[in-house]
Amino acid sequence: MDEPLHCVRCGAKLLSDARFCSRCGVEVGKVVKEEFSISADNLVSKVKALIREGDITRITVRDESGRTLLEIPATVGVVGALIAPWLAALGAIAALATKCTIAVERREG
């Protein structure tokens, strides 16, 4: 399942070959996608570690069947106080799921 890319500034969905956001005009740059398969026990700690890296633009958590459970936009990682509700939601997801996939978008340049 290939998820759409999102603008770092406004969150608008982007075409895979877009060089600029059609909504706000920001330059997109090269997008690198990574996926991690992880047990629910390690979900919150892995997401915290990814946010600390600072170059993440979007984190998507999916269950074993590929259903999206949570999407965390890039702007949340900028302000630490805003991350608390997302982490609480991740804790609830971890209690219900056994294995999760974390999809990460990073922008270069």
User: Is residue 103's pLDDT more than 80?
Assistant: yes
Q: Does the domain spanning 30-108 belong to CATH 3.30.1490?
A: yes
- C-alpha distances (whole Å) from 85 to each of 77, 82, 103 are 12, 7, 19
* pLDDT confidence bin for 51, thresholds 50/70/90: confident
Q: Using one digit for the tens of pLDDT, what is the confidence trace for 64-84?
A: 888 888 888 765 445 555 666
Average pLDDT over residues 83-100: 76
Q: Does the predicted model carry a pTM greater than 0.75?
A: no
Domain extents for the chain? 30-108
Structure confidence at residue 105 as a pLDDT band (50, 70, 90)? confident
Q: What is the mean pLDDT of residues 41-57?
A: 81
The percent of the chain in helix, strand and coil, each rounded to the nearest 5, is 35, 35, 30
pLDDT in tens, 1-23: 456 677 877 878 888 778 788 89
Quote the CA–CA distance of 67 and 63 in Å, as a whole number: 6
